[in-house]
């Protein structure tokens, strides 16, 4: 079983909250919290991929292996934290 969830408070634009509430009301998510958890998970995954891409680019630039950048990136990308 996972760790217990912790509460957090955030501030958002009224229009953003309206859009989130509409998506939740449509039944796509059980709650605003479920929507936000997924949004946070997706953003963190995106940031991990960006960091990895930067590391690959830096490695390739330092080793003069720019031709290998795409191959290394494809082999190294993993969405698991």
**What are the pLDDT tens digits along the chain (81 aa)?**
688 989 999 999 999 999 999 999 999 999 999 999 999 999 999 999 999 888 888 877 777 665 565 666 556 555 555
Give domain status of residue 35, yes or no.
yes
Residues 77, 52 contacting (CB under 8 angstroms): yes
Give domain status of residue 8, yes or no.
no
Give domain status of residue 52, yes or no.
yes
Give domain status of residue 3, yes or no.
no
Give domain status of residue 34, yes or no.
yes
Domain membership of residue 50 as a residue range:
14-76
How many domains is the chain built from?
1
Give domain status of residue 1, yes or no.
no
pTM to 2 decimals?
0.68
């Amino acid at each position: 079983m996972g760790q217990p969830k912790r509460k957090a408070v955030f501030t958002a634009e009224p229009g953003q909250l309206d859009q989130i509430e509409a998506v939740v009301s449509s039944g796509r998510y059980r709650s605003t919290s479920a929507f936000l958890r997924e949004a946070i998970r997706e953003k963190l995954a995106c940031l991990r991929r960006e960091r990895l891409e930067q590391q690959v680019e830096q490695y390739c630039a330092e080793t003069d292996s720019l031709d290998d950048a795409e191959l290394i990136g494809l082999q190294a990308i993993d969405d698991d934290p």
